A and B are shown apart, each in its own frame.
Chain A
């Protein structure tokens, strides 16, 4: 999966979590190692680690640690339309159907 799509997935997850928990979503995202929030207002992030899929898994786990299984489903639902045509093995494991 290309970096642009992975960045899009990440922002989509954070934005969806933001609808539920507010600005805390961005605060928690900024704590994830390998993820740099550049501009929260326009929604730009950057990966600072090689394996971007792992960073996404860590982001999903960060929300789940605080808010439980329901938050994991919200993250998965948020990206459903974006990953529908991506081969299963390329999808970060936390987001697989």
Chain B
């Protein structure tokens, strides 16, 4: 063999290897695009549309239809149908809206679904033997725009969740390796992504229903509790003459418990509104320090009753703030101080407010039961509470800190907790950006 021949042979061999790699690369790159579509889309319709457009453009298919299969009703419903320009001209959108009821009566589609394997036909009317399409199909067949059609089942586990119908201007044997290999791979990706999106949609719907139900129930319960509270308050505050002592004691206890109940239900409602984004915030100017001073003063009797020392450590200046004064006072400042008192059996609670260059730093430090690392992660989530918190605070709802966090974040602040662990107290820190000007 001459050196020239050797060089040519090497060149050809290298070309073949490069070609194999190029085909793999193309498949991977298209799979990458499908994954990208799947991660960026959250609805079935959107996902199907983007996948069908990508498939049609990549392989010059004449038609790509992605359908969802409903086993209970035996229906095949179009999620997206993408057509080449010339097929669109002939069909006038007839394919787009085609819904197959009683799929079992359509042999081709029924086989794809029942046998769970790819089916192939060179007769368009085999696939689209829908009464509304006969004329269009015969026109397309006359023009020879479509030479073959493929039906792929979309399978998750052992269940067919949909079908992809592809029609092309070549026969199956004319497809190149890249096209044949890729399509099988793509069907798996489409099945998985379609399933993920379906689950997401179902989950979102279930969440919405649950939220509405919670809202409805808590609203109703709050109504009953409020009425009971009014009755117990009337008795215990002496509105009725001649109430026996034992009934009076009972009314006082019932009033306290009903107030706790109202508080819990209000918190659940508040958390539900915050999650749904229906909470309305007011914007008013106030002095942050004044709210803290007032809160310390009002909690002083409860702290003293438990034998706790509560101290405020703030500088003498004012802390102008713009935001929802009531929510910050009730759900943040008072909630943190109230928690500190509840979770501190003995010792002290110190509250401080400071200014840094650009923010306010508010801390509530106690010498209480402390929090271990595992529990810290549970504190600020909805319904989250530390493992043993209910032993220390029987009224813990698990919503207080979740609400506090949502309110802090709505005011562009941060909240976190630090603790050396069980028995070593804890420090809650909140920062807010200082208002400008």
Contacts and interface: CB of A to CB of B under 8 A. Distances in A.
A7 interface: no
A85 B145 contact: yes
A60 B271 CA distance: 69
Contacts of B11: 66-68
B256 interface: no
A21 interface: yes
Nearest to A70: B16
Interface stretch (B19-27, B340-348, B402-410): B19-27
Contacts of A84: 147, 168-170, 174
Interface stretch (A30-38, A40-48, A74-82): A74-82
A20 interface: yes
B201 interface: no
Contact of B22 (A20, A66, A67, A97): A20
With most chain A CB atoms within 10 A of its CB, the pick from B11, B22, B25, B168 is: B22
Contacts of A20: 15, 18-19, 22
Interface in B1-46: 8, 11-12, 15-16, 18-19, 22, 25-26
Nearest to A22: B18
A24 B19 CA distance: 14
A19 B169 contact: no
Contact of B15 (A68, A80, A81, A82): A68
A77 B176 contact: yes
Nearest to A21: B18
Nearest to B25: A19
A96 to B, nearest CB: 13
B19 A70 contact: yes
B15 A67 contact: yes
Contacts of A67: 11-12, 15
A57 B60 CA distance: 23
A63 B144 CA distance: 32
Interface string A52-94: 0000000000000011111100100100111011000000000
A67 B168 CA distance: 30
Contacts of A80: 170, 174, 176
Counting contact residues on chain A (CB < 8 A from B), the size range is 10 to 19
A19 B22 CA distance: 6
A97 B178 CA distance: 18
Contact of A81 (B12, B18, B25, B170): B170
Contacts of A82: 60
A19 B176 CA distance: 16
A81 B19 contact: no
A34 B169 CA distance: 30
Interface string B297-334: 00000000000000000000000000000000000000
B147 A68 contact: no
Interface in B133-190: 144-145, 147, 168-170, 174, 176, 178
A97 B174 contact: yes
Nearest to B86: A85
B416 interface: no
A91 to B, nearest CB: 13
A21 B25 CA distance: 13
Contacts of B176: 77, 80
B59 interface: yes
Interface of B: 8, 11-12, 15-16, 18-19, 22, 25-26, 59-60, 144-145, 147, 168-170, 174, 176, 178
Given A66-B11, A84-B170, 8 more contacts: A19-B25, A21-B18, A67-B15, A68-B12, A77-B176, A80-B170, A81-B60, A97-B174
Top 10 A-B residue pairs of the complex, sorted by shortest distance between their CB atoms: A68-B12, A81-B60, A84-B169, A67-B15, A19-B22, A77-B176, A20-B22, A20-B18, A20-B19, A84-B170
14 contacts: A19-B25, A20-B15, A20-B18, A20-B22, A21-B15, A21-B18, A67-B11, A67-B15, A68-B11, A70-B16, A77-B178, A81-B60, A81-B168, A84-B174
